[in-house]
Structure formats: C-alpha cells, structure tokens
Amino acid sequence: MKKVRRQSDLDRASPKLPFINAAEGRLHQKKQTQMQQKQTIETFLLNARRALLEGKFDAAYATGTELLRTAVEIHGMNSTELIPSYLILGAACMGLSRIPQAEKYLSQAQWLLLKNPSCDNSVKCRVFRQLGLLYTAQRKFEKARHSLAEDIYHSSMTYGCSSVDVAAGYYHLGNVFFQEDRAEVGNSLHDHVLKVWKEFFQASRSTSSSPGTKPTKAVVSQSSSQTSIAQSMVTLATDDYSLNVVEQIEAIQMLQTIRMSREKQTSTGLSPLILIDVYYTLCLLYEFLGNQSLVIEYGEKARQLNNSQEVPDQQVTENLTLLLNSVS
C-alpha cells in the first residue's frame, strides 16, 4: 500500500530557509545600492566644489547638472537632498556671470528650505552663504550681510563658534564690508578668520607631534569621478584635524587673500604686526600640507619683518625658530 505523506511532514521536508536568505539578499543588495548612490553623490559634490574653487565653472555646472539628475532619481523633486545640487549650479552660474540663472537656482534651494524648516543647520548655513555671495555680486550689501550673518549663526550651531567650518562666513562677511569701504570692520572679521585657522593648525600640530619632533605630513590622495569622497581626505595622525581637498583650497584662498590685503595696507602705513601673524599662520598652513618650501618662504618673511621692528617680539622669534627647525 502506497504511503501518503501528511501536509505537516511536507512542511518539515521543505524548509523556508532559502526564501529567508533570498529576502536577506535583496535587503543587502538594496543597502549596497543605496551606499553606492550616496558615494556617487558625495563624489559629484566634492568634484563640483573643487571645480568651483579652481575657477572651472563650466565643469562645475556640468557636474552639478548630473548631480541634480541623480538626486532627483533617488529622492524625488521635493527633497532637501536636492539643495546641494542647486547651490552648485547657482555658484557655477555666478562664476559664468549668469546672475539671473544663478538667482533661479538659489531660489529653488531657498524654497526647499522654507518647505522644510526642520532642515539640518549644516544645510541652512550653505544656503545662506551662497545667497550672501549672490547678493554681494548684485551689490545688495544689506541683504548680503543679513544672509552671511545667518550663515555664521547656523554654522556655529552645527560646528561650534571657533570651528574652521564657520570661518568662511566671517571671511565673506569681511569682504562685504571691504566692498562698502568699511575696512576697519572688514579687517576685524578677517583677523578672526586668521585666529581660527591659526588655532586649528596649532592644535593639529600639537596632536600630531611631540616637542622637538617633526610633525606628521598631511597626505592628499587625488580625487576623480570614480573615487569616493573618503579617498580624497587628508590623512593625519588624528582624524580630528583632517581637511578634504576642497577645505584645503578654501583655507589657502582665504589666508592668501588676507595676506594680500594686509600687505597692501602695510605698504600704506598700517602697522606690520598683524602681517607677521599672517605669515606665521601661512607657515602653519603649508606645514600642514607638507609644502616645506613655502613654510621656509613665509617663515623667513615673518622673521625679517619681526627683526625690522624697533623691539622684535621674542615669542615670535622662538615660534618661528621652532617651526623652521621642524622642516629643515
């Protein structure tokens, strides 16, 4: 007689483990896809911001367009995740002197911000910063000052008042006052930028080296459209004091602009003392970046200027000696 198997026996004989594994596999694949999409967007952002700082506005616009298309595909049309794309496109259009088009893109970013008031402060500060730059280009200085003050507020809420992430807001606000021929206020703001960067590099130096030893050199890997943003980070002895490629370029541009401004003012009779501090901070910057020749160049300029004073500052002399000895 043929034996008939019960349904419970069949259930035991056919475990559902393969179906569970298939579900887990789909979930894993989804997470992998999302991670790859995030890395793609981060890479687009890094490359676009670098192109902007290097004055390659056509390239930044092309990357920003691709970034926006990708962000829309992933997040839809009404997500705050589109804001970085609009900011890139707005900045690129400003660089290409397409101010009305820039205004259109930045209005889109501002509209998304207004629709999402709980948006992170790190996003808000970037929107207000770019709006401040737009108003500056349009010579709407009162609006520019208001927007940049908002940038500083939201940056401080996110990163802390003394963070280098906040320095850009003070820097651009200082530039607005210079355009309004209010050099005293502009200098004060740029002095704060100098102080923030100087303290950052000094703190980095103290954590990456012991007294009397050569500090760890910053190493920057080259970025490309295929690399992750993580591969474009500066490598230091501690992650607390790392700058990516874009942040390095921003630091160089800020400090070099302040140097040129102070050199011009010193030549017209302003006290050279702040210029000594500018040169010393540039020494710290280029030591951080591993550029020994520029450390020596600005170190010698600072030393000569200090020695030309009626009473040279002994502390400056000691600091410069230690710094120059560390790269010799």
In a domain, 130, yes or no: yes
Where does a domain end: 119, 152, 171?
119
159/121 Cα distance (integer angstroms): 9
CA triple 288-158-122, angle to 5 deg: 90
CATH number of the domain that residue 46 is part of:
1.25.40.10
Query: Taken in order 153, 261, 284, 229, is the CA torsion positive or negative?
Result: positive
- Looking at residue 280, its pLDDT comes to 96
- Looking at residue 311, its pLDDT comes to 86
Strand-pair partners of 233: 244
In a domain, 20, yes or no: no
Q: Examine the domain organization and report whether 112 and 130 are in the same domain.
A: no
What phi and psi, each to the nearest 5 degrees, are found at residue 309? -75, 155
Residue 97 Rama label (left phi>0; alpha psi -120 to 50; beta):
left
In a domain, 251, yes or no: yes
Reduce the DSSP state of residue 294 to 3 states and report it. Answer: helix
CA triple 286-256-215, angle to 5 deg: 15
In a domain, 158, yes or no: yes
Q: What is the pLDDT of residues 244-300, one digit of tens each?
A: 899 999 999 999 999 999 999 988 877 888 999 999 999 999 999 999 999 999 999
In a domain, 59, yes or no: yes
pTM: 0.81
Sites in the chain below the pLDDT cut of 70: 1-23, 28-31, 33-34, 208-240
Which amino acid is located at 298 in the chain? Y
Q: Examine the domain organization and report whether 278 and 226 are in the same domain.
A: yes
Q: Examine the domain organization and report whether 216 and 321 are in the same domain.
A: yes
Query: Of 139, 292, 273, which is closest to residue 214 (Cα–Cα)?
Result: 292
Q: Are 148 and 169 in contact (CB under 8 A)?
A: yes
Domain that holds residue 246: 208-328
Q: Examine the domain organization and report whether 42 and 105 are in the same domain.
A: yes
Residue 233 Rama label (left phi>0; alpha psi -120 to 50; beta):
beta
- Looking at residue 140, its pLDDT comes to 97
Q: Which residues contact 72 (CB under 8 A, 6 or more apart)?
A: 82
Count structural domains, the chain: 3
Strand-pair partners of 244: 233
- Looking at residue 225, its pLDDT comes to 31
